[in-house]
Amino acid sequence: MIIQRVVLSSRPGKNGVPVAENFRLEQSAIADTIQAGQVRVRTLYLSVDPYMRCRMNEDTGSDYLLPWQLSEVADGGGIGVVEESKHQNLAKGDFVTSFNWPWQTAAILDGSLLQKLDPQLVSGRLSYFLGAAGITGLTALLGVKEKGHVAVGAGQTMVVSGAAGACGSLAGQIGRLEGCSRVVGIAGTDEKCSILVREMGFDAAINYKKGDVAEQLRELCPGGVDVYFDNVGGDISDTVIRQMNQNSHIILCGQISQYNKDVPYPPPLPPDIEKIRKERNITRERFLVLNYMDKQEASVLQLCQWIQEGKLKVRETVVEGLANIGAAFQSMMNGGNIGKQIVSISK
């Protein structure tokens, strides 16, 4: 069977900026028959995420992420439909997902490594299982619950950087649902800031490309910052940390501003910022959602309930066609999307 697939064509280098041309679309073939325990699936949706930048390097800098190999198919979160099955728990027509789905139009996969999906949980919006009802939503929810120390009635203020992105846009809403009294987002355009406030219930949003961010934070967070959901690192995070309160908490989710730099993860803070962190007893612990998979099922059900009740607003940026996945990755890394970046694969 002839398929299309996307392979890693070149590496941008540890300090380079990834471009669409780092990926290559090519034809390949999969077997016409499947073995016991296998399923043949047709790909419906693929997820494009910032962490994948690390996988473009020969050394990912992480003990849980394997690098993509040159001229080999890339992979990540994906959803597909079973077209043929020799696995006892999966049947033709079932929708399934995997965190290591190959970037190709169809594939033969080990059925035991796939998770069956119930479309009714997301009112038929299957792509949500890659975002708000998937690993992205779990990262936002468990990050807030496990590292944010949010308490109902405590009058806490949360700041979210990268707030218009897949995780940040959910984290701010979840912070509110969990009990924060004020939520302020930081994003890169006026349009994104408007969406955060108008659609997603943020109290305010700062365009970090306009004006003095520190001054705007002081104005919008007069009582200081109690919880900081950090998606970006760098100068933005240094500015937020300067305004954090005693015994406050940083949820260290991502450091997208540092992903094109050869630095350890999590990147060390500048000496003056680290001094502030220690003096104010601000927690800044690495957060890895994969360490909390025992809470996955209950957390996904909570996310789906909020989505169905309209309490959690979902935004997706959908790109059509496997051929455009490299461009979608480049756009995401340049901050060009709102919400989750999804590639829809047509037949």
11: exposed, middle or buried (C-beta count within 10 Å: 0-12, 13-18, 19+)? Answer: middle
Judged by average pLDDT, the poorest of 168-182, 210-224, 262-276 is: 262-276
Query: Does residue 347 register a pLDDT over 90?
Result: no
Confidence of residue 6 (pLDDT cuts 50, 70, 90): very high
What's residue 70's pLDDT? 96
61: confidence class by pLDDT, cuts 50, 70, 90: confident
At 89, the pLDDT band (50, 70, 90 cuts) reads very high
Q: How confident is the model at residue 199 (pLDDT cuts 50, 70, 90)?
A: very high
Q: How many C-beta atoms lie closer than 10 Å to residue 28's C-beta?
A: 14
Chain segment 248-306, per-residue pLDDT in tens: 999 998 765 444 444 456 778 999 999 999 999 999 988 888 888 899 999 999 999 99
Residue 34 has which token pair? 């499947």
Q: Calculate mean pLDDT across residues 64-84.
A: 95
Question: Which regions of the chain carry the CATH code 3.90.180.10?
Answer: 2-131+315-344
pLDDT at 63: 77
pLDDT digits (tens, 9 = 90+) for 125-142: 999 999 999 999 999 999
Extended beta strands in the chain, E state: 2-8, 23-29, 38-48, 75-85, 95-102, 106-110, 115-116, 157-161, 182-187, 204-207, 225-230, 244-252, 283-286, 316-320, 340-344
What pLDDT score was predicted for residue 3?
97
Instruction: Provide the CATH number for the domain formed by 2-131+315-344 in this structure.
Output: 3.90.180.10
Q: What confidence score (pLDDT) does residue 257 get? A: 44
Decide yes or no: CATH 3.40.50.720 for domain 135-290. Answer: yes
Residue 258's pLDDT is what? Answer: 44
pLDDT score of 346 more than 90: no
Q: Please, what sign has the CA dihedral across residues 285, 196, 184, 257?
A: positive
pLDDT band for position 19 (cuts 50, 70, 90)? very high
Going by their DSSP bridges, the two strands 2-8 and 283-286 should be labelled as: unpaired
Per-chain mean pLDDT for the chain: 93
Helix spans in 179-295 (H) = 190-198, 213-220, 234-242, 271-279
What's the whole-model pTM score? 0.90
pLDDT of 253 reads 83
Residues of the chain with CATH 3.40.50.720: 135-290
Instruction: Report the share of the chain in percent with pLDDT over 90.
Output: 82
| CB neighbours of residue 85 within 10 Å | 20
Please give the pLDDT value at position 62. Answer: 77
Q: What mean pLDDT is predicted for residues 16-32?
A: 95
| Residues 90 and 39 sit within 8 Å (Cβ to Cβ) | yes
Tokens 């309490």 sit on residue: 311
> What would the mean pLDDT of 21-33 be, rounded to a whole number?
97
CB 19 within 8 A of CB 330: yes
Interval 95-154: pLDDT, tens: 999 999 999 999 999 999 999 999 999 999 999 999 999 999 999 999 999 999 999 999
